[in-house]
């Protein structure tokens, strides 16, 4: 699903650049970057593992 969202945002940015509406393209790119960095849809929180824990599974 994230590939479809990225594709749609890319198409919208291309459209904004074609009609010379640079503020719309920059705004949607900024929102997308914030969404990728903050990742509000990630439900699982990864826990840190130490090297000894990863060796125990060998």
Q: 0.75 exceeded by the pTM?
A: no
List the one residue out of 33, 15, 37, 35 whose CA is nearest residue 24.
15
Backbone φ and ψ for 19, nearest 5 degrees, come out as -95, 10
What is the predicted pLDDT for the residue at 26? 87
DSSP classification of residue 49: -
- Yes or no: say if 23 and 12 are a contact pair by the CB < 8 Å rule: no
Query: For residue range 3-53, what is the model confidence (pLDDT) as tens digits?
Result: 888 888 888 888 888 998 888 888 888 888 887 777 766 655 555 555 555
Q: Give the model's pLDDT for residue 36.
A: 77
What pLDDT does 52 receive?
A: 57
């Amino acid at each position: 699903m994230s590939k479809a969202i990225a594709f749609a945002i890319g198409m919208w940015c291309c459209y904004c650049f074609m009609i010379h509406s640079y503020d719309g393209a920059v705004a949607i790119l900024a929102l997308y970057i914030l969404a990728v960095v903050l990742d509000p849809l990630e439900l699982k929180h990864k826990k840190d593992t130490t090297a000894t824990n990863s060796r125990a599974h060998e």
